[in-house]
Amino acid sequence: MERTLYWQDDCLYLLDQRKLPHTIEYFKCTDYNEAIDAIKTMVVRGAPAIGVSAAYAMALAEIHGEDLNVAADEIKQARPTAVNLFWAVDKVLDAVKNQKTAVQAAIEMEKEDIEINKKIGQYGNEVISQNDTILTHCNAGALACAGYGTALGVIRAAHEANKNINVICDETRPVLQGARLSVFEMQQENIPVRLIVDGAAGHMMQKGLVDKVVIGADRVAKGGVANKIGSLMVALAAKRYDVPFYVAAPISTFDYESNIFDVTIEQRNRDEVLKINDKYITKEETEVENPAFDIVESDLITGIITEEGIKKAL
């Protein structure tokens, strides 16, 4: 698997996820404003990867002698829903107060993220049975993290344990993280994978063709989990057809302060919905709603797989 991101010669390199799976190209960030733009425009995306990139954005600010508190406020504006962004920036500020450099803190965070995901994979593997078909939504894989992945980390661990699993990826309109990124990751690992349109998830569950759902999270808070738009519909269908519904997320995605319904749901550009491959699929003037995330309520969630074991939703 290509690295999601790396730090070299005082620059941050991000695998440009807008171009996957057809083009492998790294986007170079030489200052923190470039890193902010990369997060906003989804060169890099996925809650833990946004967090680690934000930490490196702080590192870039430090190298260029910028005021770290000003940089922190600006970096936190990049995207509103994934709590890892705020957690990571605050963690770097704390590290700097404790005589570390921001660069050291970011490098440590990147390493720790991969270790955490492997632990999530081990705990998650315990709930996966031999020959399971697992449905996932969006991309909570190596590409959404420093490496290995959360939901796809569970799938990787089950595959490494020779469980003969099959994966179904929702395409995940409008940015197609499922079709472009999760399918790509599964193919790279030779894990059997099928792609479905988002609207087919309920049908597959009604037919008894899904044994478990495993998704990631942008934020876990009191009352439920925020994740990619469409997660709620998958969870409702899973409840109806008695399919266990797991969320895989590191503790850094937990927000113990907020109620999940108070969290800002990012509204993205209308063109994401109006266009496919740069071509309008409907009249340009059509009104659009484009919420990027929705809320899966706690009672729809079987368990949250973390690096500390499987927890109940808050």
Minimum distance between the CB of residue 300 and ligand MRU, rounded to whole angstroms?
16
Under rule CB under 6 A, residue 102 binds ligand MRU: no
Under rule CB under 6 A, residue 224 binds ligand MRU: no
For 151-160, b where at least 16 C-beta lie within 10 A, e where not — what string?
Answer: bbbbbbbbbe
The 10 Å Cβ neighbour count of residue 278 is: 6
x/- letters, 64..83, toward ligand MRU (CB under 6 A): ------------------x-
C-beta closer to ligand MRU: residue 102 or 154: 154
Handedness of CA 124, 232, 5, 255 (dihedral sign): negative
C-beta closer to ligand MRU: residue 47 or 232: 47
Q: Classify burial at 5, counting beta carbons within 10 Å of its beta carbon; exposed 0-12, middle 13-18, buried 19 or more.
A: buried
C-beta closer to ligand MRU: residue 125 or 150: 150
If DSSP codes are grouped into helix, strand and coil, which group holds residue 164?
Answer: coil
**CA-to-CA dists, residue 99 to 36, 95, 96, angstroms:** 25, 7, 5
Under rule CB under 6 A, residue 150 binds ligand MRU: yes
Residue among 177, 252, 302, 306 that touches ligand MRU (CB under 6 A)? 177
Under rule CB under 6 A, residue 47 binds ligand MRU: yes
CA angle 239, 307, 35 (to 5 degrees): 95
Total of residues contacting ligand MRU (CB under 6 A):
17
Residue among 205, 232, 292, 296 that touches ligand MRU (CB under 6 A)? 292
Under rule CB under 6 A, residue 48 binds ligand MRU: yes
The residue behind tokens 């031999």 is 130
- The residue from 218, 255, 278, 294 that is catalytic is 218
Minimum distance between the CB of residue 173 and ligand MRU, rounded to whole angstroms?
12
Contact of 129 with 145, CB cutoff 8 Å? no
Instruction: From 101, 2, 86, 3, select the one nearest 39 (Cα to Cα).
Output: 86
The residue behind tokens 């079709």 is 179
Minimum distance between the CB of residue 100 and ligand MRU, rounded to whole angstroms?
26
60 Cβ contact list (under 8 Å, min separation 6): 10, 11, 12, 29, 30, 31, 32, 34, 35
- Of residues 113-142, which lie at the interface with ligand MRU (CB under 6 A)? 138, 140
C-beta closer to ligand MRU: residue 52 or 292: 292
C-beta closer to ligand MRU: residue 57 or 103: 57
Based on the residue annotation, tell me whether 67 is a catalytic residue of this protein. Answer: no
What DSSP character marks residue 141?
B
Residue among 12, 27, 45, 182 that touches ligand MRU (CB under 6 A)? 45
Instruction: From 2, 5, 3, 67, select the one nearest 32 (Cα to Cα).
Output: 67
Which residues of the shown chain bind ligand MRU in the complex (CB under 6 A)?
45-48, 82, 138, 140, 144-145, 150, 177, 216-218, 227-228, 292
Active site residues: 218
